[in-house]
């Protein structure tokens, strides 16, 4: 896709109306609270959710390494990485696997692979489930399950990944937090309210944070269909809820069991 084509896509996005969130919406399936809408009932989604992972927390549970697992990189930095760009309904469900004919093809995103490997890496050695019942790359899972349901805003695989990267860079959460003094540390605890306020001031919308044992594990940003930020609902499970003071653990490379 050339620059003019890409810009025309974003002009289309800007013309799309923004939908509000219902109070009982729980995000995406990763939180274990939503039910997938049956295929025959799948309709156009209501809003986007960009899910970001904090490797410093997730990689602490790594006990096996492989070349595909970014937790095992010796030169990785402490920054949020992309989990996925998801599409959700306001009623507490979400569409999934909307077009079985749009199977993931890595050749279609060749120009983006350098950035994807750094900013959207897999943090596991396990292959992910795909819509045809098989197993594939982390990117294949995200495109087939979520990206294929992003029409009419996003129509193809390349645009899905390019759009996600652009949003990630535009709202650079790691940079926002560091500039406000929230630096990755294995000893410091930070006020949750301060982190939320820093992001609210920069993004002009309220994020949703998910924690594990008091450490930030995931951060979610919600967007209208024109990619204007909107508040995310505060509805994590008690197990995922963050305490008043949270940590942002430094990334420590895992080198055990590499193959």
Report yes or no on 80 lying in a domain.
yes
**Which residues make Cβ contacts (< 8 Å) with residue 73, sequence separation at least 6?**
253
Report yes or no on 222 lying in a domain.
yes
DSSP conformational letter for 188: -
Characterise 249 by phi-psi region: left (phi > 0), alpha (psi -120 to 50), beta (else): beta
Tens digit of pLDDT per residue, the chain (259 long)?
443 344 344 434 443 446 444 333 333 433 333 344 444 447 899 999 999 999 999 998 887 888 889 998 877 668 999 999 999 888 767 899 998 678 999 999 999 999 999 999 999 999 999 998 899 999 999 999 999 999 999 999 999 999 999 999 999 999 999 999 999 999 999 999 999 999 999 999 999 999 999 999 999 999 999 999 999 987 788 999 999 999 999 988 766 555 5
* Number of domains forming the structure of the chain: 1
**Token pair for 128:** 């992910």
Report yes or no on 252 lying in a domain.
no
Distance (Å, rounded) from C-alpha 229 to C-alpha 204?
7
**Token pair for 83:** 């989990």
Report yes or no on 139 lying in a domain.
yes
Report yes or no on 34 lying in a domain.
yes
Report yes or no on 251 lying in a domain.
no
Distance (Å, rounded) from C-alpha 130 to C-alpha 140?
7
Task: Give φ, ψ of 221 to 5 degrees.
Answer: -115, 135
Q: Which residues are catalytic?
A: 83, 142, 146
**Which residues make Cβ contacts (< 8 Å) with residue 204, sequence separation at least 6?**
229
Domain that holds residue 92: 3-246
Q: DSSP letter string over 218-250?
A: EEEEEE-TT--EEPPP----TTT---SEEB-PP
The model's pTM = 0.84
Q: Give the domain CATH number at 223.
A: 3.90.730.10
**Token pair for 168:** 């990630």
């Amino acid at each position: 896709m050339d620059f003019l084509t890409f810009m025309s896509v974003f002009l289309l996005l800007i013309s799309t109306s923004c939908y509000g969130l219902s109070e009982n919406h729980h995000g995406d399936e990763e939180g274990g609270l939503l039910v997938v809408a049956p295929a025959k009932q799948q309709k156009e989604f209501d809003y986007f959710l960009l899910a970001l992972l904090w490797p410093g927390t997730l990689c602490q549970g790594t006990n096996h390494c492989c070349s595909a697992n970014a937790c095992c990189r010796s030169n990785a930095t402490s920054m949020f990485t992309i989990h996925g760009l998801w599409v959700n309904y306001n009623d507490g469900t979400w569409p999934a696997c909307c077009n079985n004919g749009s199977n993931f093809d890595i050749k279609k995103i060749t120009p983006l692979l350098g950035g994807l490997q750094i900013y959207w890496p897999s943090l596991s050695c396990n292959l992910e489930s795909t819509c045809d019942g098989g197993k594939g790359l982390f990117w294949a899972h995200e495109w087939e399950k979520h990206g294929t349901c992003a029409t009419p805003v996003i129509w193809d695989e390349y645009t899905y990944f390019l759009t996600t990267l652009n949003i990630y860079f535009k709202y650079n959460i790691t940079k926002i937090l560091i500039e406000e003094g929230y630096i990755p540390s294995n000893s410091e605890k930070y006020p949750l309210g301060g982190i939320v306020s820093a992001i609210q001031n920069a993004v002009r919308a309220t994020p949703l944070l998910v924690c594990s044992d008091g450490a930030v594990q995931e951060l979610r940003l919600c967007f209208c269909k024109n990619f204007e930020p909107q508040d995310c609902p505060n509805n994590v499970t008690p197990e995922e809820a963050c305490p008043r003071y949270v940590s942002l653990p430094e990334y420590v490379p895992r080198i055990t069991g590499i193959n």
